[in-house]
Chains A and B, each alone.
Chain A
Amino acid sequence: MRLITYLTTIVVLCVLQVVRADPAHTNNWAVLVCTSRFWFNYRHMANTLSMYRTVKRLGIPDSRIILMLSDDVACNSRNLFPGSVFNNQDRALDLYGESVEVDYKGYEVTVENFIRLLTDRWGEEQPKSKRLLTDENSNIFIYMTGHGGADFLKFQDAEEIASHDIADAFAQMHEKKRYNEIFFMIDTCQANSMYSKFYSPNVLAVGSSRLDESSYSHHSDVEVGVAVIDRFTYYTLDFMENIEKNSSLSLQDLFDSYTFEKVHSHVGVRTDLYHRDPSKVLVTDFFGSVKHIVKDMHDQDNDFQAVLKDHDGTDGYTDHIVNLALSKNERNPVESSKAVSVGLATLRRSERSVVTFDKSKGKAKWSAVVPISILLGLLVLTLSTQSQNNLSSRTATAHSF
């Protein structure tokens, strides 16, 4: 028994030594997508919100989470618990309760918007909070849930996204160096077909079920009246609840935790595009946001000595970049006076904006128009009198007959 304990300790220590955070990435992003509408798809919203809660708990800030929810079950009239979404029948945890920032909601959740999000092709009107502003140092966790089929996933009961589309979007992201690594997780029927067409490097994918295989819900809540979570997501969360920011568990541990008995479908993992061994990749490399915080080693006492107390900078001058800037500023006061604050900015005199009335032109026009109109008026008057005279003479002749 003791031997087993010792061995276990040694193995754990070895794992701790081997599993280290990936130094290549410096920021983590999460894209969480629920593609289904309507009340009976409550569980898909709950799946996504559960993932949202998990990544937020592990330190990814809201500014780096893109949450797409195609329906608002929290405010659905059939919801017995208005404003709340639960993922378990014990209703211990309200997923919607605290500061949920939904970036795309309702009919904004479309295939086009999802592709735009990944490829970052937007108009200028798109706010930064709704964009995936990743770079070559970003690890992205993408979670999708909804109703899927062979090589497609339904969006909103109206359209589908094909596996090729996501694969091509990843290719475009890779070409523009918009990611370091992607961890793609999908919980739909026939989910594994969705990652089968990926061809870009550094993408690790996991799906809930094989081709021609359904993905199942876990359990229903009698009072909510519908299923509240899917099996695959349920067991993912079950694993994730044991993860803290300093956890040393790897993605392989997560994959090993899925069994057919639990999930009731064959979970698939695609690692051929991924250059690292999942057993050496920390879960927090994707789910958390670990910042390297280092002590500043530069001589801070020197900064204290360098601070110029008097404004002319002559007393006790020490070489420091701020002092250099100060002295340059002192030497070039002209430059500094150029920087006028916005409130005092003078309006530039623009030639185009100056409106002048050319009175002479106006006069000339008047001087021409008035006599011409008088002449015309006289002409018309003369003609009309003449025609009247003719008419009256003709009438007089007719009468004479």
Chain B
Amino acid sequence: MSQLFLRRVVAVWFAAIYALIGLPLWYKLTTIYRAPLPGEYVSSLRENMHADVHVVVPVYVRSDTYKFPDIHRAIQAQADALLRSKPSTIDWSLQVMPAEKNQTLDLESDYVLTLVLDDFTGYAIPYDSKETVVFFDDTAVLSNDVPFFAAQTLIEHTFAAEWTHFSGSTSVQDENTLDIDSEMVISYSPTMHLSLSLLTGDGRPVAWDIESTLNQYFTPLRRFLSPLVNFTVDTSILPFNDLNLGSLHDVQDPSWQDLAHSVDLSELSSINHYREKNVVNLAIVFPSPEAGQLAFINATQDRPWQSFMVPQWGALVVNKEALPDNARITQDYLAPVIYSFACELFQFLGLSSEKADLSTPYTTIDSFKRIMTLKNLEQGVETLWSLVKLTNQFPQMSVPKRVLADVERAVELRLQAVELINDPKQGNEAIWNEALRLSNDFVQVCERAFFHKEMVQQNFFPQEHKIAVYLPLLGPISVIIFTGLIKALREKHGDDAEDHLNGKKSLKFDSDKPLQSEDTS
């Protein structure tokens, strides 16, 4: 094997290792990892939003006076026809079932339709249950109108919120107390913080029986709402802070602008201190004695305060008079405040509105659960779609494996929630609570995927910087390997032979040298 051949082989090997191992390795180690997200699936979910959802709510029918053996089928047919009359954004229907003789129905958990013979036709929905009572007379029975009355009552009154939100009906706006798009509403979150503050315009000592009041009146409400929202509560007393209301003490009828421009809520807007995403505030404000009476407060003999609402923030209970010395605010004062705040809290949650009070809490809360569950599903899919869209838009953005795992988990959660919603045999309160919980988890996992820490786009790391980092390392290696390869390939055999001879000569010459030196020595 000639030396030239050997040199060429070595140079080719170096170049081959550089190209076949070095380059792929470098590429592999420096490539931004992008996990393959299920883009097409997410895209189809978004395009056919709620295509696989069909909300089914079971309703049990019972009749006290007459026995109608097939009334449930007739009501079912009427209800289906009524629902079909409007194009719905989300498929939904009622599953009308007869109440068996020995079946125990929980009126707080199951929807029950009770048919009662009376002198007139009408309906009633009790305040403290999910029962719908339809009154009918003999004429209605003769003309076979009972099924239609029952179906209409159920859809347009008991399920007014679904009728509005899912079927887009505007005919029952007054019945529908849910106003989730109102300016007042704090965006829904399964956990919420309630911050209660007592503000006084001066620094004189003050005490309040807030703990006992909350334990007695608010804790049951908190428990009542716990399937929907979990509240954490804190209380505080802030002296020397009347929210600058003292500046309005002589104004008789301030406009909302006057109030908005004077009231300073900045000290109470400390959302950062709580772990929960959303905070609702209740501030009870007493002016300082120096500021005197607040003329614009429309107080009565029983009620020394007036309540104001700040959209997406909370309620202000403003007192007309300043507190006396060494005051202790008792439960007698605080209980009505809590009662009033409870009504406002329902407005902040979107469960009631300014124009419609909460007249049927059980059915409204249940409808709210259904609507929020579907809104959550929609929101989560939108987040997933945004994620997929952005990863396609920014090729430099890394997509870690954790994001893929979260997306897969999210899709799984969605399917679980949809399965619960679609099942006609399951429709009691516990199932809707579970569906809402799953949909909340779905939103949370989608958000976690979207806001993953490592997905900060690498575009702000300019290409010049990459060259500046790699060039000092790769430049010299590349130059040596490739110029060496070119040199080896350009050398000819003649040169090699000549070199060989020269080599021999030089060897001979070199070998002579020591001899000469020996001689001289």
A residues lining the B interface (CB < 8 Å): 23, 26-27, 56, 59-64, 111-112, 115-116, 119-123, 127-129, 133, 135, 137, 160-162, 164-165, 168-169, 171-172, 175-176, 244-246, 289-298, 300-301, 303-304, 306-307, 311, 319-322, 324-329, 335-336, 339
Q: Is the CB of B260 within 8 A of A121?
A: no
Q: Is the CB of B224 within 8 A of A301?
A: no
Q: Is the CB of B390 within 8 A of A26?
A: no
How many angstroms from the CA of A255 to the CA of B260 in the assembled complex?
26
Q: Which of B310, B453, B459 contacts A291 (CB 8 A)?
A: B310
Size of the B side of the interface (Cβ < 8 Å), in residues, is 71
Q: Is the CB of A172 within 8 A of B310?
A: no
Q: Is the CB of A171 within 8 A of B343?
A: no
Task: List 18 A-B residue pairs with CB atoms under 8 Å apart, sorted by A's residue number.
Answer: A63-B269, A123-B453, A128-B271, A133-B271, A162-B462, A171-B390, A291-B311, A292-B183, A294-B310, A295-B308, A295-B309, A296-B307, A296-B315, A304-B303, A304-B339, A307-B339, A324-B224, A325-B224
Q: Is the CB of A301 within 8 A of B303?
A: yes
Interface string of B215-231 (1 = CB under 8 A from A): 01111110111000000
Interface string of B372-402 (1 = CB under 8 A from A): 0000000000010010011001100000000
Q: Which of A168, A245, A301 contacts B394 (CB 8 A)?
A: A168
Looking at B261, B307, B357, B361, which has the most chain A CB atoms within 10 Å of its CB? B261
B47 within 8 A of A: no
Known: A176-B450, A324-B128. A304 touches B302 (CB 8 A): yes
Looking at A27, A176, A301, A311, which has the most chain B CB atoms within 10 Å of its CB? A176
Known: A165-B460, A304-B302, A326-B217. A121 touches B452 (CB 8 A): yes
Chain A minimum-CB-distance residue to B345 = A321
Known: A292-B311, A293-B308. A322 touches B217 (CB 8 A): yes
How many angstroms from the CA of A301 to the CA of B426 in the assembled complex?
41
Q: Is the CB of B271 within 8 A of A63?
A: yes
Interface string of B278-311 (1 = CB under 8 A from A): 0000000000000000000000101100111111
Contacts of A325 in B (CB 8 A): 220-221, 223-225
Contacts of A61 in B (CB 8 A): 265-267, 269-270
Contacts of B74 in A (CB 8 A): none
Looking at A26, A122, A293, A295, which has the most chain B CB atoms within 10 Å of its CB? A293
Chain A minimum-CB-distance residue to B302 = A304
State which residues 304-351 of B face A: CB under 8 Å: 306-313, 315-316, 335-336, 338-340, 342-344, 346
Q: Which of B259, B270, B302, B335 contacts A63 (CB 8 A)?
A: B270
B residues lining the A interface (CB < 8 Å): 108, 127-128, 183, 187, 216-221, 223-225, 256-261, 263-267, 269-272, 300, 302-303, 306-313, 315-316, 335-336, 338-340, 342-344, 346, 354, 357-358, 361, 383, 386, 389-390, 393-394, 450-453, 455-457, 459-460, 462
Known: A175-B389, A324-B361. A293 touches B256 (CB 8 A): yes
Chain B minimum-CB-distance residue to A128 = B272
Known: A133-B271, A296-B315, A339-B223. A168 touches B459 (CB 8 A): yes
Contacts of B300 in A (CB 8 A): 301
A-B contact count (CB 8 A): 181
A125 → chain B, closest Cβ, in Å? 10
How many angstroms from the CA of A130 to the CA of B177 in the assembled complex?
38
Known: A293-B256, A321-B358, A325-B220. A26 touches B307 (CB 8 A): no
How many angstroms from the CA of A57 to the CA of B270 in the assembled complex?
17
Chain B minimum-CB-distance residue to A62 = B266
A-B residue pairs, 3 tightest by C-beta: A61-B266, A325-B224, A329-B220
Known: A165-B460, A246-B257. A321 touches B271 (CB 8 A): no
Contacts of B187 in A (CB 8 A): 135
Q: Is the CB of B310 within 8 A of A115?
A: no
Known: A26-B311, A115-B460, A293-B309. A176 touches B455 (CB 8 A): no
How many angstroms from the CA of A162 to the CA of B312 in the assembled complex?
36
Contacts of A293 in B (CB 8 A): 256, 259-260, 263, 308-310, 316
Q: Is the CB of B453 within 8 A of A307?
A: no
Q: Is the CB of A172 within 8 A of B390?
A: yes
Contacts of A63 in B (CB 8 A): 269-272
Chain B minimum-CB-distance residue to A135 = B187
Contacts of B357 in A (CB 8 A): 298
Chain A minimum-CB-distance residue to B276 = A128
B113 → chain A, closest Cβ, in Å? 21
Contacts of A244 in B (CB 8 A): 261
Contacts of B346 in A (CB 8 A): 321
Known: A135-B187, A164-B459, A325-B224. A303 touches B127 (CB 8 A): no
Besides A121-B455, A303-B339, A321-B358, 11 other A-B contacts (C-beta < 8 A) = A27-B312, A115-B457, A128-B271, A164-B459, A292-B260, A300-B307, A301-B303, A304-B336, A307-B335, A307-B339, A321-B221
How many angstroms from the CA of A317 to the CA of B504 in the assembled complex?
121
Known: A121-B453, A301-B300. A296 touches B340 (CB 8 A): yes
B398 → chain A, closest Cβ, in Å? 11
Contacts of A112 in B (CB 8 A): 456, 460
Q: Is the CB of B256 within 8 A of A301?
A: no
Contacts of B258 in A (CB 8 A): 246
Q: Is the CB of A165 within 8 A of B459?
A: yes
How many angstroms from the CA of A120 to the CA of B358 in the assembled complex?
37
How many angstroms from the CA of A165 to the CA of B394 in the assembled complex?
11
Q: Which of A297, A304, A322 contacts B354 (CB 8 A)?
A: A297
How many angstroms from the CA of A329 to the CA of B222 in the assembled complex?
10
Chain B minimum-CB-distance residue to A136 = B187
How many angstroms from the CA of A112 to the CA of B175 in the assembled complex?
51
Q: Is the CB of B259 within 8 A of A322?
A: no
Q: Which of A119, A127, A291, A311 contacts B263 (CB 8 A)?
A: A291
A169 → chain B, closest Cβ, in Å? 8
Known: A121-B455, A294-B309, A301-B302. A335 touches B223 (CB 8 A): yes
B188 → chain A, closest Cβ, in Å? 12
B437 → chain A, closest Cβ, in Å? 17
How many angstroms from the CA of A303 to the CA of B361 in the assembled complex?
16
Contacts of A175 in B (CB 8 A): 386, 389-390
